[in-house]
Structure 1
């Protein structure tokens, strides 16, 4: 515990005041960094309070401050203004033009937020306000844990974009702070609310697959153009991330839904992980090509970029396995893999449409339609069509936000808690260690302090409460 307190002190979690490019250096994988990952992987923490199943006091109105009005942040504003019982009271971004744009948009729905901008730590003043219930964090990865910890310490619930943390120290900080303050820390893993993933989760809980033995997930997304765009990722932060560490840097989209299917943190737990990466065959060459045409890109030439494909395998305490892949450079169609294999059946989402089987052949489209009708989760029946109208990755973003607000307004537990945020995010630094150590295995920490053995599975109905209206 003393090492964690020292980390908080030395990294300045009480106030981050560095530019993105400066902060990146703290995460370079030196020998010391790798030793720290191994140490933290074997760390344990006595649970102060179990946040799994915790229901915070009801909030008639959820007063929100949004930090980060970039690509994802502006999208969140578009969704939040459609939800009853939400008051957007504050917006923050380093760039004044972004907060002004956000304010102009939400004012059309009757919200009058105060603005915080111009400094890298402007978010602190937002979090210190005493009239906010929830801080929604949509910044570059570096700031996720610092802002989340600061917010919870100032009596705010937190929704934080993926990944919630970059290091194991940060994962433990999130857990300790959430338990101590009894404030929700939800990593907004939107893929858990995708129509297909929710259907598959319900099928799993109803026994369609039998005993689930093996799952596969991933994030395979051709981001070549976006990573080298001067406008998309502010200050080129994602391209910078790509040469600071080698491993699975973005595990949660593929992993989150699989963990819910396997009841990870709720009956089973990850045991150990192994990870292997290819060399980089794409990003380094692209940097050279861009630099030939524009000197702006010269600092990105010669960097030791993350491998093109990372493959990680996780074994659970109950002997199940999960295979995860990460590739944002290859010219491939988008895929999260999403394969569920059990003793009675199998489901596979990609290539779309999703398919299911209970034998040698995939079920026919007619049989799939019958399955969909039989196993359609109640939340999809209730909010699915409205979500499609609002949008956000086909509607799953809106289902996620609507359900979160409805839980807060009705005093209900959230489907994703701080243990999920910490565990799913921890796969990234664990994979970094394994890749750097010839793909040796590394223990996965139990962030629940052993409570996973009795924690209840995710309630797939997700309609308890259900009183919050949608404003189209």
Structure 2
């Protein structure tokens, strides 16, 4: 008897080429590899973290793990938000801890430093803190987030929040068990253009949205082969060992919010295809010819030039997500949505909107912007631009997160978003490795998406957290 391929994958617990389990597909139960045997584990929802409002925290006591490029910038931003107490700083490099300590002490904080060992971050998590902000290499995101929640802390974790499907489930189950927020710091959801589009969608400008496109197209060769850019070359190691859509969340996150994924609709299945690599290995060879340091990076299975992943939703809508960090192309996250009444496209900039065959004129765009600028931008947008961080969206994200925690409001992104958006990477790896066959996307909400309500962007509550410029 011919066996359905999806059922076969579920029953056998087949893993990815990288060795990680990919058997958690949602539903009432999941199966995963444990050595040579199989184990069934219930995935019944313990507690719905969507729109969960934790008790108010008048002062949010924060510990930072990871003080590299983004970590140091995060400390600098939080240093400008009232109602925040920076209590602890951790990095493998003592000079980074010293730098961040000096910055925060200048504004009255008295952080404790941790840098004595690779496990020093655990000591930080055991302190009397409210929030752990994790900005470390990808492989550490889930272990640190799970440990933090199990020690009674809310978590902000950099993208992607997880590398494997099992890690995605760990985040979900731990957040539900502990009732601690686990927010992936997807800053692109706070881009001014994306926020404008989201508010327009809420007001019905596009009608019913039926298709979205996002991407991370960014030529990063100069950065990933830079000995000083990524500590211990961790990002180059990632892209030289895996093939798929390894960094989907920047393009995907805003599209999911606009299309109410996890809050009225859910992803059903995914198909992914990658081109071959035509640049990265050649770059490694050229560098290795001059510097032995790069020899270990020669003839590795580099991620292809372009990955394209397509997703079908439970309600019959579609999403396309692309990933390319090698091609000499202009930066793009695409950010295209198409509805029954109109469409939007951000890249190539300037952003534009349409309700017909032609894009609206620049003058009409200005009218649209004035009419639909969301409350958060009206409230804090100009200050965010002054503080900076990718044009201000990083600061909008941090300010909004702190304001929600201080006022006991649900966060804009929950653990189900973190898990779902991150899951696209391992799912795409499986699909690419299996001739672009389709694969089911886990329902991390376990059916709660049918009744979960969309993210509240009204700013009718909160908004009282001050900024210290």
TM-score by length of 2: 0.93
Partner SS, residue 97 of structure 1: helix
Aligned counterparts of 2:460 and 2:92: Cα–Cα separation in 1: 38
Match of 1:387 in 2: 384
Cα separation, 1, equivalents of 2:226 and 2:25: 36
Deviations 1:45-70 (A, max 9, x none): 11110100110000110000000000
Cα RMSD (Å): 1.2
1:37 CA displacement: 1.1
Q: Does 1:81 align with 2:79?
A: yes
- The correspondence for 1:68, drawn from 63, 66, 69, is 66
> What is the rounded CA distance, in whole Å, between the counterparts of 1:365 and 1:376 in structure 2?
16
2:423 aligned partner: 426
Structure 2 unaligned regions, length at least 5: 1-14, 31-41
8 Å contact kept, 2:125–2:132: yes
The CA distance in 1 between the partners of 2:459 and 2:390, in whole Å, is: 20
Give secondary structure in 2 for the equivalent of 1:72. Answer: helix
Which residue is 1:52 aligned to?
A: 50
Among candidates 128, 132, 136, match of residue 129 of structure 2: 132
Contact kept, 8 Å, 2:26 with 2:446, in 1: the verdict is no
State the alpha-carbon separation in 2 of the partners of residues 40 and 116 from structure 1. 39
- Aligned with 2:218 (options 213, 217, 221): 221
| Cα offsets for 1:169-211 (capped at 9, x unmatched) | 0000000000000000000100001100000001111111111
Q: Residue 338 of structure 1 aligns with which residue?
A: 335
**What is the alpha-carbon distance in structure 2 between the residues aligned to residue 294 and residue 334 of structure 1?**
29
1:211-230 alpha-carbon deviations (Å, 9 max, x no partner)? 11111000001100000000
Distance in 1 (CA, whole Å) between partners of 2:455 and 2:61 is: 26
How far apart are residue 29 of structure 1 and its match?
A: 2.4
1:409 alignment partner in structure 2: 406
Tell me the matched-pair count.
442
Cα distance, 1:41 vs. partner? Answer: 6.3
Give the deviation of 1:40 after TM superposition.
5.1
Match of 1:283 among 253, 271, 280: 280
* Cα offsets for 1:245-299 (capped at 9, x unmatched): 1100000000000000000000000000000000001110000111112111111
* Matched-pair contact (CA < 8 Å) for 1:269–1:446: yes
SS at match of 2:413: coil
Structure with bigger helix share is: 1
SS in 2 for 1:312: strand
Q: Distance in 2 between matches of 1:225 and 1:215?
A: 30
- Larger mean Cα displacement after TM superposition, 57-66 or 38-47: 38-47
- Matched-pair contact (CA < 8 Å) for 1:28–1:244: no
Shift of 1:463: 4.8
Q: Equivalent residues in 2 for 1:132-281 (5 A)?
A: 132-281=129-278
Deviation, 1:107, is 1.1
1:365 paired residue number: 362
- CA contact under 8 A between 1:192 and 1:257: conserved in structure 2? yes
Paired with 2:26 and 2:17, the residues of 1 have a C-alpha distance of 16
1:454 and 1:29 mapped to 2: Cα distance?
Answer: 36
Instruction: Encode CA deviations 1:303-350: one digit per residue, 9 max, x unaligned.
Output: 111111000000000001000000011111110010000111110000
Which residue in the other structure is 2:320 paired with?
323
- What stretches of structure 1 of length at least 5 have no aligned partner? 1-26
Alpha-carbon displacement from aligned partner over 1:2-48 (angstroms, at most 9, x marks no partner) = xxxxxxxxxxxxxxxxxxxxxxxxx9825x54xx2145567361111
- Is the partner of 1:293 in helix, strand or coil? coil
Matches within 5 A, 1:292-331: 292-331=289-328
Q: 1:355 & 1:28 partners in 2: Cα distance?
A: 40
Offset at 1:118?
Answer: 3.1
The CA distance in 2 between the partners of 1:68 and 1:309, in whole Å, is: 30
Question: Which residue does the alignment assign to 1:20?
Answer: none
Please give the alpha-carbon distance, in whole angstroms, between the structure 2 residues aligned to 1:424 and 1:393.
21
Per the alignment, residue 347 of structure 1 pairs with 344
- The residue that corresponds to 1:12 in the other structure is none
Aligned residues of 1:38 and 1:433 also touching (Cα < 8 A): no
